[in-house]
């Protein structure tokens, strides 16, 4: 599918943060490869007057998802640390809407829709269709996309703008997305 931004469309960028890129606390192989791809989509969105929503994983110290607290992950994206910053080369215009998640003490929020109010915000902004990329394909991108479909949004995954934690996880995630009615673009 070609890039056909239209009225009611939005670009959604998930968790492109330093800790998820090589050298970070929870590095995803070639995680930083999504940056130049997304920068082209961001530039197109700006040129087409398509709004951009950007999520960030933003954990308190000792978060429930960290191994030290019985969770699955090494500490990462701790609030106000360097690793929690967006990748420095990500070309975000000042007009982006930021969605902060992973802040809750009682559960992790892999999905950008999980108790963030994002679905309401998108509806208020007149959005029906989401073009989505970011990190990681088999964790937060997957959870966000499945919630987006449950919330009734049309979803297009930008395939070369995402990378998985594991290859097998990425393939499984892609199948789950397709089963949920997600469309794909290069
Ligand atoms: C993520 C693992 C832990 C993600 C967040 O953004 O995909 N993965 N926290
Ligand atoms: Zn996290």
Residue 17 CA: which ligand 1 atom is closest?
A: 6
Pocket test for ligand 1, best of 12, 16, 57 (most atoms within 8 A of CB): 57
Task: For residue 105, count CB atoms less than 10 angstroms from its CB and return exposed for 0-12, middle for 13-18, buried for 19 or more.
Answer: exposed
| pLDDT score of 75 more than 90 | yes
What is the 20 CA–ligand 2 centroid distance (Å)? 9
Instruction: List the chain domain ranges.
Output: 9-185
Does 101 participate in catalysis according to the annotation? yes
| Predicted confidence band of residue 131 (pLDDT cuts 50, 70, 90) | very high
Cα separations in angstroms, 175 against 138, 140, 186: 11, 15, 16
Report, as an integer, the average pLDDT of 95-110: 97
CATH topology classification for 9-185: Rossmann fold (3.40.50)
Question: How is residue 95 annotated by DSSP?
Answer: T
Active site residue 140: yes
User: What number of other Cβ atoms are within 10 A of residue 63's Cβ?
Assistant: 23
Residue with tokens 């007149």: 126
* pTM of the predicted protein model: 0.97
pLDDT at 2: 52
| 154 has catalytic annotation | no
Residues with CB under 6 A from ligand 1: 15, 26, 57, 65, 73, 135-136, 139-140
- Say if residue 97's pLDDT is above 70: yes
Q: What are 151-165's pLDDT values in tens digits?
A: 999 999 999 999 999
């Amino acid at each position: 599918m070609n890039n056909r931004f239209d009225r009611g469309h939005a670009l959604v960028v998930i968790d492109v943060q330093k800790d998820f890129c090589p050298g970070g606390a929870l590095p995803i192989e070639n995680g930083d490869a999504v940056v130049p791809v997304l920068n082209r989509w961001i530039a197109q969105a700006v040129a087409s007057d398509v709004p951009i929503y950007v999520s960030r994983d933003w954990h308190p110290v000792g978060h429930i998802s960290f191994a030290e607290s019985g969770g699955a992950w090494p500490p990462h994206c701790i609030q106000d640390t360097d690793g929690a910053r967006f990748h420095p080369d990500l070309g975000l215009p000042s007009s982006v809407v930021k969605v902060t998640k992973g802040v809750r003490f009682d559960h992790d929020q892999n999905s950008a829709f999980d108790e963030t109010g994002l679905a309401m915000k998108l509806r208020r902004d007149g959005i029906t269709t989401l073009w989505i990329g970011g990190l990681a394909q088999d964790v937060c991108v997957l959870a966000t996309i499945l919630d987006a479909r449950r919330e009734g949004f049309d979803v297009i995954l930008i395939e070369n703008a995402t990378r998985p934690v594991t290859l097998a996880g990425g393939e499984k995630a892609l199948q789950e997305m397709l089963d949920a009615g997600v469309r794909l673009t290069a």
